[in-house]
Structure 1
Amino acid sequence: MIPATGPRRNAQVPYWGDTCPRPLGCCKGLHTPGHRAYYQKYWGYVPARCGQRPHPARVDDALRNGTLASPKDRQLARELMHISPAAAVAIKERDSFTTRVVEDALAEGITQFLDLGRGFISHSASYAALAGARGAGGTPSLVLVDNDANVHDHNRGCLGQATHLERPFATAVRGNAFAVDTMLNDLRDTQLVDLDRPVCVLLVDLLHYLERRRSPLTVIRRLTTRLPHGSWIAITHLTNQPLLPDIPPPARAALRDDTARWCRAHERCVPPHPRSCSPSTFADWMADLELLPPGGITSQACWPEPDTTHGPHPHFTLAAVGRVPSASPRRPRSPRTARRAAARDMLAGVIADSDVPFEEFAVSADQSPAQLRRVLNGHGRISPDLAYAAARRYGIDPHALLTLQDHAELATITARREHTATTSDSPPVAGQHTLDVDDSDSAVDVLHALIAATGLSRHAFAETLGYDRSTLTKTLSGRHYVTASLALGLAHRYGIDAADLLARQARHQIAVAAERAQPTEAPPS
């Protein structure tokens, strides 16, 4: 087994973005996030072989004490074990999760399985589980999709050496699993997958390799749209936040910092590199699916039961399994859609009633036409300055405009959390606090008073909310507005009235906008 402790040697392979140990041109097209995100759209794009850097699949083999890893892979595996001695245990938990999903899907009558980006077939829990089911008289089929040339060659070689009983049920295909539509079309045309029958898709530890410019929600939504009713989609994703609400702040901070080190260590590999997400973001991605069991956002170690991990270590992984519904449910509106349907309509009505050209209205409201058009299209917020300028010139209520925008977002996020609840949605960790504030105080004043009442540091206070501490610091200094998500978190944890908090913010923002405009504004004509 790879030692978990002991002296560490300086890594021989630099982080990605530094000078390549032996540049051969194989990394062409991978050195900018834009290029990597662009290529992830295409089914036929596969990276060139690289012998100079570790590969995630071979590092996984090293953590399993396998024989496929190179010295560079083993060196990175040692670094990962130093960051988290539980790394090897997490791999076993991932395999157990995959096995449970496959067995449950078989029990429900699903016989088609699509395992995306899972690496070497010799370590594939889905292949092992289905081989056992086939030996017991079942007729399952498995398609393994991976874009790594080394993985694909190994898988095809293993399948070529399989027994006559095993060989027909598994097929290895090389391609980019993020190009969902083209992938499914290709698998359908080659008769590897029958899209008229339910399919179990395994997205196990894959989506956190999607580039930041691409959203996992897009991948999940395309699968939900294309797969037939009754199909299953099993998803795991790296997180830097625990699910249980009573984890103490020091443990939360340790998980966040160790996960950042874990992701940074993976930057020695060829791209893409992993990134974490929050439990609430993960729950939003699953909103189009019927979760099994209902509300089942948990950890991969505990699925299908609620998470009970009190001492999470990297890589701590969220897990959920969803069934494609018979008719895709109407997804609760996103905050951007809510803005389009509420505050935007009010502003658009003012423009229509003003009887002035759009460009002239934009200039009179101290906006460029492009900025105002983005707001009306729902791609930006109505700023306090825009609300005040429009109110002063056209007689609308600026406070009502901002409040309508904030409350629309508040209602939308509330509906989305009710639609897909996480296991962290539990009773508040603290009761209501008596705050020394009055009606004239702003939302930031309320936040300062609440932190003082709890006796927590800003860092610890942010941890209780699962909120980024730097963003909280910006909010407390007035450089960032109080979001509807933060207001709801305060309501859940500390009993704060979210609607009142946002109303206070709107009043204060309009007052500041008016004060800022006073030195330069001319009397209205």
Structure 2
Amino acid sequence: MSGSESAPSPIDTSRPHPARVYDWWLGGKDNYPVDEELARKILAADGTAVRGARANRRFMHRATRAASEAGIRQFLDIGTGIPTEPNLHQVAQAVAPESKVVYADNDPIVLRHAEALLHGSAEGTTDYVHADVRDPETILRLAGEFLDFAQPVALSLVALTHYLGDAADGDDVYGLLKRYVEVLAPGSWLVLSQVTSDISTEGVQKAAEHFRRSGTPFYPRSLTEFSRFFDGLELLGPGVIPVYGWRPEAEDVAAQAEGIVPVYGGVARKP
């Protein structure tokens, strides 16, 4: 495991954290009462929250498997979150045991669980870097100790961009994505998912307000705004679509009967 540029801050259990809220929705146990309280408030405002979290997780599995089956052997997952099995490296290395996976996150609770992330296959490697998505130079430098950026990499930012604002908000999420994609070799993949208010508009807007009141910025994006992340790349079929419709498997088809999911997903290839 690589270290960070500075010591991680202690875990703050007095305020909810989106990774721990997400963990509660997924049925995990790495959350605190303050996280459960916010998770329940959001679920009351937007009944799609649990469905969306689970559908988003299955999308990550399918996209990772598709990249592996297409020959990608290197993966960089930014905004890793609290480990929930199967993790990305388990999916990739089940297809190709020699796959190399680097996780990156700035949350101290994820750092605490890094050992759980690092149990990969004997043939491949799994590593973790503690750094913030807003610091691409550090993440790319540390990840470059394990990955060869001259070869294709599958870059995943799953359920992360809705926590990042535009240039006017001080984040410039489009500029950040461009910086990461710039260093990728031709043939690399970009895997993204993002909450949208195009679907379940009132519920998502209420959920976003709950997040903001708790101190977490939250930016749902429209189909047009989300699609902009893939500018200059070759979108892979079926394009930008609600996550449960991206190359669905039997479990996803069955889950669609439960109702809508206001999360877009998309996968693109760098030409």
Using the size of structure 2 for normalisation, the TM-score is 0.85
Q: Match for residue 303 of structure 1? A: 246
1:52-451 counterparts in 2 under 5 A? 52-123=14-85, 125-133=87-95, 138-156=97-115, 158-159=116-117, 162=119, 165=121, 169-188=125-144, 190=145, 192-211=146-165, 212-242=169-199, 255-271=200-216, 273-293=217-237, 296-304=239-247, 316-325=262-271
Q: Is the 8 A contact 1:53 1:268 kept in 2?
A: no
Q: Distance in 2 between matches of 1:318 and 1:141?
A: 27
**CA–CA distance in 1 between the matches of 2:49 and 2:27?**
12
- What is the rounded CA distance, in whole Å, between the counterparts of 2:56 and 2:87 in structure 1? 9
1:319, distance to aligned residue in structure 2 (A): 1.2
- CA-to-aligned-CA distance 1:260-281 (integer Å, 9 cap, x gap): 111112235454x221111112
Highest CA radius of gyration, 1 or 2?
1
Output the CA distance in 2 between the equivalents of 1:47 and 1:322. Answer: 35
* Cα deviation digits, residues 314-365 of structure 1 (max 9, x gap): x61111111111xxxxxxxxxxxxxxxxxxxxxxxxxxxxxxxxxxxxxxxx
In structure 2, relative to structure 1, the CA distance for the partners of 1:292 and 1:265 (3 Å cut) is same
Q: 1:55 to 1:174 in 2, by over 3 A?
A: same
Distance 1:311 1:121, change over 3 A: closer
Point out 4+ residue stretches in structure 1 off by more than 6 angstroms. Answer: 308-312
Distance in structure 1 (CA, Å) of the matches to 2:102 and 2:229: 24
Instruction: Name the SS of the counterpart of 2:181 in structure 1.
Output: helix
CA deviation after TM superposition for structure 1 residue 120, in Å: 1.3
Q: Distance in 1 between matches of 2:48 and 2:90?
A: 23
Rounded Cα–Cα distance in structure 1 between residues aligned with 2:86 and 2:137: 25
User: Aligned partners of 1:293 and 1:140: how far apart in 2?
Assistant: 24
Give the SS at the match of 2:245. Answer: coil
Q: Residue 130 and residue 89 in structure 1: after superposition, are their counterparts in 2 closer, same or farther (change >3 A)?
A: same
Identify the structure with the greater helix proportion: 1
Contact 1:131 1:166 in 2 (8 A): no
* Aligned residue type for 1:103: R
Matches within 5 A, 1:19-34: none
Spell out, residue by residue over 1:343-396, the C-alpha distance to the aligned partner (whole angstroms, 9 max, x if none): xxxxxxxxxxxxxxxxxxxxxxxxxxxxxxxxxxxxxxxxxxxxxxxxxxxxxx
8 Å CA contact 2:77, 2:155 repeated in 1: yes
Q: Deviations over 1:149-173 (max 9, x none)?
A: 11111123x246x48x469521121
Going from structure 1 to structure 2, the CA distance change for 1:240 and 1:311 (only over 3 Å counts) comes to farther
Length-normalised TM-score, structure 1: 0.46
- Distance change in 2, residues 1:115/1:300 (3 Å): same
**Residues 64 and 88 in structure 1, CA contact (< 8 A), matched pair in contact too:** yes
Deviation at 1:103, TM superposition (A): 1.0
Give the CA deviation at 1:223. 2.2
For 1:454, the equivalent position in structure 2 comes to none
Amino acid at match of 1:298: I
Contact preservation (8 Å) 1:110, 1:198: yes
Q: Residues 166 and 206 from structure 1, CA distance in 2 versus in 1: closer, same or farther, beyond 3 angstroms? A: farther
- Deviation track 1:459-506 (CA, whole Å, cap 9, x = no partner) reads xxxxxxxxxxxxxxxxxxxxxxxxxxxxxxxxxxxxxxxxxxxxxxxx
- The alignment covers a number of residue pairs equal to 258
- Corresponding letter in the other structure for 1:286: F
CA contact (8 A) 1:121 1:127 kept: no
Residues 1:50 and 2:50 are matched in the alignment: no
What's the Cα RMSD here?
2.6
Shift of 1:256: 2.0
Cα shift at 1:47? 5.3
In structure 2, relative to structure 1, the CA distance for the partners of 1:320 and 1:301 (3 Å cut) is same
Distance 1:278 1:292 in 2: 19
Mapped to 1, the partners of 2:264 and 2:57 lie a distance apart of: 14
Is 1:232–1:324's contact at 8 Å kept on the other side of the alignment?
yes
Question: Between the two proteins, what is the percent identity of the paired residues?
Answer: 25
The answer to whether the 8 A contact 1:236-1:300 is kept is yes
Q: How far apart are 1:179 and its partner, in Å?
A: 2.2
Preserved CA contact (<8 Å) 1:118 1:206: no
Shift of 1:124: 5.5
| 1-structure distance, mates of 2:93, 2:202 | 40
User: How many angstroms apart in 1 are the aligned matches of 2:142 and 2:258?
Assistant: 43
Asked whether the equivalents of residues 87 and 117 of structure 2 are also in contact (C-alpha less than 8 Å), the reply is: no
- Alpha-carbon deviation of 1:257? 1.8
Whether the aligned pair in 2 keeps the contact of 1:61 and 1:68 (CA below 8 Å) is yes
Specify which structure has the higher proportion of strand. 2
